[in-house]
Amino acid sequence: KAGVTQTPRYLIKTRGQQVTLSCSPISGHRSVSWYQQTPGQGLQFLFEYFSETQRNKGNFPGRFSGRQFSNSRSEMNVSTLELGDSALYLCASSLDLADNEQFFGPGTRLTVL
Amino acid sequence: DAKTTQPPSMDCAEGRAANLPCNHSTISGNEYVYWYRQIHSQGPQYIIHGLKNNETNEMASLIITEDRKSSTLILPHATLRDTAVYYCIVRVRGDSNYQLIWGAGTKLIIKP
């Protein structure tokens, strides 16, 4: 069974631009969560989607948004990029909401110049 | 805010048991303790979780103190491939679902 895939793996943008990251969960998994990982703040929860609906949200500004499609694939979007948005963005999938085990993808490394 | 405290780094000899401590003194009665690890350049990997009782699986054992204020992850026979950052995490109830609150992690280095 293929694991969680994320595209692109690396991305360079400039301040003020917007970016869309994609995540394909493990086949059969219906819940997708997004995390931001930085050296200073560690892993921080962004949001979780299930059945195309956002079910949970972390403490990030409205510039961070996401969506989930009927095939469970998910995208997250960051608008008006800031230097501080440079981070590794991780996607994790699980069979269901509140499932005990989340499976993480390799992440997308975003650099904002 | 993180609900867990871990030592920033630890060493362990290959073949020995690695014991990774975690303090979670503010944990609530219905909040689970989870452990994940992250090997360099990869996404985190689930290891184990527990509420009150000690737990064991093919990867590790989790020992939770009776007052639930701390726990220890045990890797019984560490190998070089166990070198990673180990995260002790508390699962809390969010607005409409559960959230994993990640700590800073312990960088475990297994030495030959």
List chain A residues with CB under 8 Å of B102. Answer: 42-45
A19, β-bridge pairs: A78
Closest residue in B to A53 (Cα–Cα):
B96
Task: Tell me, yes or no, if B86 comes closer than 8 A to chain A by beta carbon.
Answer: no
pLDDT at B70: 95
Distances (CA, A) of B60 to A41, A51, B63: 27, 33, 10
pLDDT at A96: 85
Q: Is the pLDDT of residue A30 over 70?
A: yes
pLDDT at A98: 67
Q: Is the pLDDT of residue A33 over 80?
A: yes
Chain B: give the shortest CA distance to residue A80, in Å: 26
DSSP states of chain B: ----B--SEEEEETTSPEEEEEE-TT--TT-EEEEEEE-TTS--EEEEEESSS-EE-SS-EEEE-TTSSEEEEEESS--GGG-EEEEEEEEEE-SSSEEEEE---EEEEEE-
Compute the average pLDDT of residues A78-101: 91
pLDDT-based confidence at A97, cuts 50/70/90? confident
pLDDT at B3: 87
pLDDT-based confidence at A100, cuts 50/70/90? confident
Q: Give the residue from A10, A31, A38, A43 with the most B CB atoms within 10 Å of its CB, the best one to mutate.
A: A43
Task: Tell me, yes or no, if A103 comes closer than 8 A to chain B by beta carbon.
Answer: yes
pLDDT at A1: 67
Compute the average pLDDT of residues A4-29: 97
Compute the average pLDDT of residues A37-54: 91
pLDDT at B1: 65
pLDDT at A52: 94
**Given A42, A100, A107, which is nearest B43 (Cβ)?**
A107
pLDDT at B34: 94
Mean pLDDT by 10 residues, chain B (112 residues): 89 97 90 94 93 94 95 96 95 76 93 95
pLDDT at B95: 64
pLDDT at B106: 97
Task: Tell me, yes or no, if A104 comes closer than 8 A to chain B by beta carbon.
Answer: yes
Instruction: Quote the tokens at residue B42.
Output: 């990869």
Compute the average pLDDT of residues A74-84: 97
Q: Is the pLDDT of residue A23 over 80?
A: yes
Compute the average pLDDT of residues A21-47: 93
pLDDT at A75: 98
List chain A residues with CB under 8 Å of B41. Answer: 106
Burial category of A54 from C-beta neighbours within 10 Å (exposed 0-12, middle 13-18, buried 19 and up): middle
CB atoms under 10 Å from CB of A93, counted, come to: 26
Chain B: give the shortest CA distance to residue A45, in Å: 7
